[in-house]
Amino acid sequence: MKMKFLGPFAALLLLPALVAAQSACPVLVITGHPTYMPVAWAADGKIAGAASELVTGIAKKSGVTTVASKDYGSWESAQAAVARGEADVIFGIYKNDERMTWLDYVEPAFMMDPVSVVVRKGDGFAYALWDDLKGRKGVTNAGESFGTAFDGFMAKNLTVARAQGVDKAFAALLNKSADYLIIGLYPGSLEARRLGIGSKVEFLAKEIDSFGMYVGFSKKSKCNELKAAFAEGLKQQVADGRVKVLLDAARRQLEK
């Protein structure tokens, strides 16, 4: 009998916190990566994609009246907006020590995101360990992090330039300014297709690693009290397979 009433009872316990949070959070400003398809991408001044749909749905179920999605022009700028409290929530973000100083992560991660090494077609090299990237010139998008461990290894051992945009990172690879590109497998594949360069690049079989993608609240946000409701909603969406449904729908939209 106790189990039967656990769900409604838990909801009643959360109700006062939700009412208080809603009064302090009439508008929830959300943002994400402008070029990380199908998770997130810029469209008409907003961030569209699977993660945006996920966060908006959870916010509405948590009682938020208005959800405002905003594109800040770059991944670096989106993070800066959240760090200073201009935006309340960021989605599709990896976890690292530096970001935890300004971001409250919502558990669990909503998906795992494999990160790949991309090379020019025909210019591949043997890659099995991070050490195999030493002595070569790499490139990645500005503002990207690949977890505390790889970020530290990259800073200490690798030469990796930062391009102002994924398209420019691919351009650096193709014009031979770089020997390899580090990028998420899913956005990298879709961006190569969008740019019409799929036949000119290849993704090495071995991944850098696979990282959890999170939703996070700005530590300066007045909407932080919604975190508990977000965590519950996120757990349910992941368990129900909703995230995969949203990702598949986003891929179909992009492939039209």
Please report, as a single letter, which amino acid is at residue 59: A
What pLDDT, in 10s, does the model give residues 94-137? 999 999 999 999 999 999 999 999 999 999 999 999 999 999 99
More confident residue, 5 or 187: 187
What pLDDT, in 10s, does the model give residues 166-177? 999 999 999 999
Cβ atoms within 10 Å, residue 194: 17
Whether 198 and 126 share a structural domain? yes
Write phi, then psi, for 217 (nearest 5 degrees). Answer: -100, 140
Cβ atoms within 10 Å, residue 150: 19
Whether 223 and 204 share a structural domain? no
Whether 173 and 188 share a structural domain? yes
Euclidean distance between CA atoms 67 and 60, whole angstroms: 8
Please report, as a single letter, which amino acid is at residue 114: P
Whether 105 and 216 share a structural domain? yes
Number of structural domains found in the chain: 2
Please report, as a single letter, which amino acid is at residue 100: M
40 touches 14 (CB < 8 A): no
Euclidean distance between CA atoms 136 and 130, whole angstroms: 12
Q: Which domain holds residue 81?
A: 6-112+212-255
Cβ atoms within 10 Å, residue 37: 25
Instruction: Check residue 23 and give its pLDDT.
Output: 54
